[in-house]
Amino acid sequence: MMRDFRQWIDQRIEEAIASPRLIREVGEGIWISPSDEVFKFKDLTHAEWAKTAELDVSEMLRNGWVRLRVLADEVFAETERHSAVWPIVQTAEEYGQHKVRLYLKNREMEVRKGPEGWLLNGTPLAEIFTEKKQ
C-alpha cells in the first residue's frame, strides 16, 4: 500500500513539473517592455500573457523585453538588453528581494544587494553601468 501511495505522489510531482499550471502558481510574472513599461500578471505563464497581447516570447526577448518571475526568495530575469539591469533591480526592490538570478544574453549572472549596493557577480553595478536609469 505504501508503495502505491509513493508512486501516486511521484506521478503527481512529475505532472506538476511538466505542467504550465505549476509555473502559473509560483510567484508573480512580469514583463518589462523596451521602454521600461511594466506588465504584471498572475495565473498565467509568460507565453500565455504574450499570446493575449498577440506577441511571440522569443521575438519579445530579441526586441529588448525582460521576462521576470518573482519568487519567495529571489527574482528570475531573462533579457537580451544590458540597460534592463536597472529596471530589474528596481522591480526586485519593489518586492523586497535582494537576489536576482539574471540570464543576460543567455549567460547566467547573479545580482545581489550588499551593504555597498547592488552587485553583478560581485562588482558594483555603478561601476559597470555608469548611467543609472531613473
Q: 67, 38 in Cβ contact below 8 A?
A: no
Distances in Å between the Cα of 74 and the Cα atoms of 26, 51, 67, 70, 127 are 12, 26, 14, 6, 23
CA distance 92 to 78: 13
Cell of 119: 552587485
What is the structure's pLDDT at 98? Answer: 94
pTM for the whole structure: 0.74
All structural domains of the chain with their residue ranges: 22-128
Q: Read off the pLDDT of residues 51-91 as tens digits, 9 standing for 90 and up.
A: 998 999 989 999 999 999 888 888 999 999 988 999 999 99
What is the structure's pLDDT at 116? Answer: 84
Q: Read off the pLDDT of residues 99-108 as tens digits, 9 standing for 90 and up.
A: 999 999 888 9
